[in-house]
Amino acid sequence: MVFFFLRFFKKYTKITKKKVTKIQFYRILNIFTIFLILFTENTVFLYCTLVNLLLIFYYLYVIFYYCFDVIFIVL
């Protein structure tokens, strides 16, 4: 499954011909884990939900980090 994701990611970057930022990479990874949740068995389901929780916390961290950064710049 990891190899499948890496192959997909390579094709995605070739199609868009852009450098993918870290946040975009994690968004793609999150979509991939959602597909894993839908199409795999329970052990992988538990792993993917943990990964999704970590990614959600990472998104919240990034949002708050940049929001506070902008607030301090404005002030």
Q: Domain-by-domain residue ranges, the chain?
A: 19-74
The number of C-alpha atoms within 13 Å of 63 and in the hemisphere containing its C-beta is: 6
- Digit-by-digit pLDDT tens for the chain (75 residues) are 556 666 666 666 665 556 666 767 777 777 776 666 666 655 555 666 667 777 777 777 766 766 665 555 554
Could you tell me the CA-to-CA distances from 6 to 3, 9, 25, 28, 61 in Å, in that order? 5, 5, 11, 11, 25
